[in-house]
Structure 1
Amino acid sequence: MHPLRTRLGLLALAVLAPAVLAAGVSGAGPAAPAAATAAAPAARAGAGNPLAGRTMGVYRGPMEQSWAPYQRATGAKKELLAKIALRPKAKWFGAWVRDADIERKVEDYIANATGGDPNVLVQMAVFRMVPWEHDACKRLPSKAQKKSYRRWIRGFARGVGNAHAALILQPDGPFALCVPKGSKVPSRMIRYAAKRLAALPNTSVYIDAGAGDWPKDRPDEAARFLMPAGIEYVRGFALNSTHYSPTSVEIGFGTRLVEELARRGVPGRHFVINTSSNGKGFDFGTARGKHPDHAKVCRSRSDSHCVTLGIPPTTDVTSPRWGLSAADSARAAAHVDAYLWFGRPWLFMQADPFLTKRALRLVRTTPY
């Protein structure tokens, strides 16, 4: 996918009360994301789950691309867009935010998303590596780029401070496997970030490990770039950030990756799965459309092999509502901290801008 280009609107920041508890949301109407219910026990997603039992904050302001379209909408359209705009989800931060500005931007985001409540959980994704994606296969970071990366990460860490945060580190992680001459430079840079951010008192870091279909059903390949990236310092890894793989596939792949990491001397890792895009999950390589990053959206609830919203953000990973097998429920209970929304299928090429018609179809066709 392409790097995010932040879309700054003219809308003034509205700091409202946080929405949606970590226990899960039903999605049974436009008010559901803004309602608070009792939190699920941490044991549902593994003992000591740092994400469980906390309200998940919702950012309301111009740094969120769905917010202005939601505010402009009226009637039934506004009710539908609420299913995206009022869901807790991860804000992506990257090189489009200057080194000098990142600390303040993160502070502003957290203040808005938490409403000033220090117990609320915020979600963010760090997409700061330059070069990255296909460019990373052609060249390594320059000395100046490495220095800037470290400066930016330090500023980001200061911005997070004591906040309770779930942090996805460097989406599209498997690109670390294609760097020139097998260099470990990008992985070492991610390692720097992993160690620095994991040292924050209330931050849970999950390094992006790709998806069950990338590297294709190869936990050993995923472990090959997670090990030099500092997986030993963090809570675990993240799956499916830019893909559409079914949740059951990701549970199975993630469980095997947990076992592979343990064999390599890093036991006890946990993971989170992006479910924003996999309501009718399929293999990324079989996506319909002009480009897999902009795969066809479902036309109806009975359509298949298409993109629609998946399980709403929750730490109640074994709920019968998700239709998991008994085996997958057991695996999820042992290893999965949460189903989160850190993918963005409502954006063009999962990057920018917000596409209202696409977003409305995502909402209308979701089975959840």
Structure 2
Amino acid sequence: MKTSPLQRLGSAVIALGLVAGFAVGHTPTAAAAVPATGELVTNGNFDNGVAQPWWNSAGTGSRVENGQWHIDVVGGAPNPWDAQTGQSGIPLVTGRGYTLSFDASASTTVSIVATVQLGSAPYTKALDQQVTLSPGRKHYIFPFTSSIGTTGGQVTFQLGGSASGYTAYLDNISLIPSPLALTSGFYVDPNSNPKQWVANNGGDPRATPISSQVANQAGARWYGNWSGDIAAAVSSYVGAADQADRLPMLVAYNIPGRDCGSHSGGGAGSPAAYRTWISAFAQAIGARPAVVIIEPDALAQLDCLPASERAVRTDLLRYASEQFRDYAPNAWTYLDGGNATWIPADTMAQRLEAAGVREIRGFAVNVSNFHTTASSITYANAVNAALTSRYGYSRTFVVDTSRNGNGSNGEWCNPAGRKLGTPTQAGGGAELLMWIKVPGDSDGPCGIAPNTPAGQFDPNLAIRLINGS
């Protein structure tokens, strides 16, 4: 159950499923204006005071006021598409992942339909999402995978079907490709612990298998209180990946009271210090593509905290989610959701909701653990079923496959008989299968590495993972 420390438009195609979008009840901050590299819509923030190249049909009136697009909708149109707005000339690639997001409200509670579709007959829809608007401004995010390829796509908002007239308000409309579509594959950390060990031990007979099967595989880099200037550290790493046209994977691991004081204990010294740290982390990524895992074990370990501290931790995780939402628009960000046998799925769903999983891409399971991919997917689907039942939405998820090749024997701290799992890839039953834990990095001075502190590389651990022994 523990963990240890530690733009280019490409041709990647990701086999991702269409997932439900979500609404976030907040007034978006100025940080939401961070530009999204690869943005496919024009003038989505209406800052120049006009709506072009957006269009609106009969039955609607259009004006821009106070940086928002105001659409006056005439009542009585029988169908949603009888009164609509949109933008045409949107390029879409079959099989590529995208995210449509926007801020919206209405003068009264009303149901509309947001689409991404062909701009001509038969108007095939890649995204067809019903949305309930109300007087309170909300942020909506809808990840999807395009089933169509065209240079003439459309983003539309179908506003008809209401018996009475009303005004809809739209702002910050964005359609961006997935981070993988913005790069040419996953980034291999050139300075990981396994890489450094191989560089320093070339004559060791273990160096060759560790190099090929561990050090040269794409995995995540972990950041915490050992990372120094977090803005500089993250910016340097993401910048190097960007220069290589690769997608970096990062783990934020600095929550106060981390690991409940066990082998990987530590973290930021106070809630205020953590807020500063995580905000700098998100801002350092900026508009560059990345994958981020937020705070392994933090939600699953709520029970080890005093009751008075649980709400504080949840609030910090929500703050982290909001920072990545606002400052890292091209990052796929996932809150940690425990593993298949730790926290009941319904309980985890409630914790994820409280921690702001609505704000971001989704959640991660099996981080630094050993459960099979199949059992991890079953658990994640159960969490999503609970999210849907309780809150009306589901999230995408990723699975840590770094050490799950032989499944779990019930032990968590450097157990024997474990094996490397499927290398990092898109799809495989989850949105991503990822090497989040660095194989060969110790969980602590325990198990088959009794003298290796948490986060340090042990070549014997790596070799036993390679051999499954």
TM-score normalized with structure 1 length = 0.72
Quick check: 1:242 aligned with 2:397?
no
State the SS of the aligned residue for 1:273: strand
Kept after mapping to 1: 8 A contact 2:401/2:420: yes
Alpha-carbon deviation of 1:254?
0.5
Q: 1: CA distance between counterparts of 2:206 and 2:392?
A: 48
| DSSP-derived class of the 2:419 partner | coil
Structure 1 residue aligned with 2:206? 77
Aligned to 1:349, the other structure's residue is in SS state coil
SS of equivalent residue, structure 1 residue 150: helix
Quick check: 1:251 aligned with 2:377? yes
Offset of residue 294 of structure 1: 1.4
What is the one-letter code of the residue matched to 2:196? A
SS in structure 2 at match of 1:256: helix
Q: Distance in 2 between matches of 1:225 and 1:88?
A: 30
Q: 1:340 to 1:2 in 2, by over 3 A?
A: closer
Task: State the SS of the aligned residue for 1:293.
Answer: coil
1:249-281 per-position Cα deviation (integer Å, ceiling 9, x unaligned): 011111111111112225131000000010000
SS at match of 1:121: coil
1:94 touches 1:126 (CA, 8 Å); kept in 2?
yes
1:96 is displaced (CA, Å) by 2.2
1:194 Cα deviation after fit: 0.6
- Kindly state the Cα deviation for residue 209 of structure 1 after the two structures are TM-superposed: 0.4
Over 3 Å counting, the alpha-carbon distance change for 1:104 and 1:97 in structure 2 is same
Distance in 2 separating the partners of 1:356 and 1:345: 10
Residues 1:146 and 1:266: Cα distance change in structure 2 (over 3 Å): farther
Cα distance in 2 between the residues matched to 1:254 and 1:152: 29
CA distance in structure 2 between the aligned counterparts of 1:23 and 1:74, rounded to whole angstroms = 37
Deviation readout 1:314-334 (Å, 9 max, x if unpaired): 0141xxxxxxxxxxxxxx2xx
**Distance in 1 separating the partners of 2:257 and 2:4:** 11
Letter in 2 for 1:89: G
1:198 Cα deviation after fit: 2.2
2:227 aligned partner: 97
Q: 1:2 to 1:231 in 2, by over 3 A?
A: closer
TM-score (norm 2): 0.57
User: What stretches of structure 2 of length at least 5 have no aligned partner?
Assistant: 7-11, 16-93, 98-142, 147-176, 445-453
Task: Report how many residues are paired.
Answer: 293
Contact 2:402 2:421 in 1 (8 A): yes
Choose between structure 1 and 2: higher helix proportion: 1
Determine the C-alpha separation between the residues in 2 that align with 1:145 and 1:361.
Answer: 39
Structure 1 unaligned regions, length at least 5: 7-20, 25-39, 297-305, 318-331
Contact in 2 for aligned 1:56/1:88 (Cα 8 Å): yes
Q: Which of 139, 145, 164 is residue 47 of structure 1 equivalent to?
A: 145
Matched, 1:194 2:311: no
Aligned match for 1:185, one of 305, 308, 312: 312
1:228 to 322, 346, 354: 354
1:3–1:281 CA distance, 2 compared to 1 (3 A): closer
Over the aligned positions, Cα root-mean-square deviation in angstroms equals 3.0
Structure-to-structure mapping, 1:17-28, within 5 angstroms: none
- In the alignment, is residue 343 of structure 1 matched against residue 449 of structure 2? no
Aligned residue in 1 for 2:386: 260
Q: Does the CA-based 8 Å contact 2:13-2:95 persist in structure 1? A: no
Supply the distance in 2 between the matched residues of 1:161 and 1:223 (Cα, whole angstroms).
29
Hey, what does 2:107 align to over in structure 1?
none
SS at match of 1:184: helix
Q: 1:170 is matched with which residue: 290, 295, 299?
A: 295
Q: Name the % identity.
A: 23
- Counterpart code for 1:238: A
* Greater percentage in strand: 2
Distance 1:162 1:191 in 2: 21
1:206 alignment partner, one of 326, 334, 359: 334
